[in-house]
Amino acid sequence: MKTRDVVIFSGQQFAVPQCIQHIDHQSTHGWQLRYGGTKLFSDHSQDGSGAAAALAEATKALLSRIATMPAPSRLQRRPSGNKGSGLPVGISGPIVRQRASSRVRDCSFAVSLPRFGGAPRGRSVYIGTENTYTVEKYQAALAKAVALREEAEEAYQRAATRAKRAEGKVLKEQLKAILAAAPAAKAVKAKPAKPASKVAPKAAAKVAVKAPVTAAVKKAPVKKAAAVKAEAKPAARKASAKSLRA
């Protein structure tokens, strides 16, 4: 299955498989799956942050549908509007012709048998000659032509489904990174934010620790100065006493 690079409104680029398209319309942002019906996987964000997880979920759903549902068929299911014979799709006639070795004309139905991956194969269903032609033979030949066409369509559908499921397996290997992004994104969203109350006590503790140290540093010089003044007073008294004796 082919993938294409898609750039969404936020500037993010993704490898997107077929059958998935990104929707950006007003407040709607998400990936729309278009396989066996449509389903929108929302980004759950206005800035595109949830686009990766939503793409992973859409891809998982696509792979699941490929594995369980028949592949979409491009075969024509109804006759064209300009077909005037009234015969089912893929059947035309009766075609009347005369072979070179025959003296009478014969008629038959032409049936187109589709083949997946190849060109349709033509098949002729004989009805009868102009001498043996009857309504019963016409109806029997038409029933045979319809059965051939239905059998070919069923074979086409089976082959298309097998090919699509093989593409799905290859796609799964190619997009393992995207598929693994969904649980990781959910885990990030589920992780609660740290409350402010847990941070505040630490800051208060740091202030409380710093406060005593600062006070101690500031008080130390004051104590030393007072001690020097106290020691200087007795010395001054002794010096004055000596001068009086002299």
Q: Per-domain residue ranges for the chain?
A: 3-72+171-190, 91-159, 196-246
208 has pLDDT over 80: no
**Residue 192: predicted pLDDT:** 47
* Residue 133 confidence (pLDDT): 87
Whole-angstrom Cα distance, residue 70 to residue 49? 34
Closest by CA position to 93, among listed 128, 52, 119: 128
Could you give the 3-state DSSP secondary structure of residue 191? coil
Q: How far is CA 46 from the centre of its chain?
A: 18
> For residue 94, is the peptide bond before it cis, meaning its omega torsion is within 30 degrees of 0?
yes
Mean pLDDT, the chain, whole residue set: 75
Residue 191 has pLDDT above 70, yes or no: no
Q: Over the stretch 78-108, which tens digit does the pLDDT of each residue have?
A: 777 777 777 888 888 888 888 877 788 889 9
Identity (one letter) of the amino acid at 3? Answer: T
pLDDT: which is higher, 1 or 56: 56
Q: What number of other Cβ atoms are within 10 A of residue 55's Cβ?
A: 28
Q: Which residue has the higher pLDDT, 154 or 47?
A: 154
In the chain, count H helices and then E strands.
Answer: 4, 8
pLDDT, position 173: 77
Closest CA to 147 of 90, 94, 96: 90
> Residue 29: what pLDDT?
86
Task: Find out whether 106 and 93 touch, Cβ atoms under 8 Å.
Answer: no
Whole-number Cα distances in Å, 32 to 17, 28, 85, 164, 174: 12, 11, 41, 19, 20
Q: What percent of the chain has pLDDT over 90?
A: 10
Instruction: Categorize the per-residue pLDDT at 65 as very low, low, confident or very high, splitting at 50, 70 and 90.
Output: confident
**For residues 204-221, average pLDDT:** 43
**Cβ count near 81 (within 10 Å):** 6
Q: What is the pLDDT of residue 13?
A: 84
> SS3 letters for 112-173?
EEEECCEEEEEEEEEEEECCCCCHHHHHHHHHHHHHHHHHHHHHHHHHHHHHHHHHHHHHHH
Q: How far apart are CA 98 and CA 93, in angstroms?
A: 15
C-alpha to C-alpha distance for 33 and 22, rounded to whole angstroms: 9
Confidence band of 144 (pLDDT split at 50, 70, 90): very high
Strand 20-25 to 28-34 pairing: antiparallel
Does an H or E element contain 125, and which?
strand 118-129
- Percent of residues, the chain, with pLDDT higher than 70: 70
Backbone CA torsion sign across 5, 7, 11, 12: negative
> What is the mean pLDDT of the segment spanning 37-63?
86
pTM for this one?
0.57
12-26, 65-79, 167-181, 225-239, range with the lowest pLDDT: 225-239
Residue 148: pLDDT band (50, 70, 90) is very high
Helix (H) or strand (E) holding 39: strand 38-42
Least confident span in 15-29, 47-61, 214-228:
214-228
Q: In this structure, what token pair is assigned to residue 50?
A: 């949830």
Query: Where is 115: in which H helix or E strand?
Result: strand 106-115
Q: Output the pLDDT for position 234.
A: 53
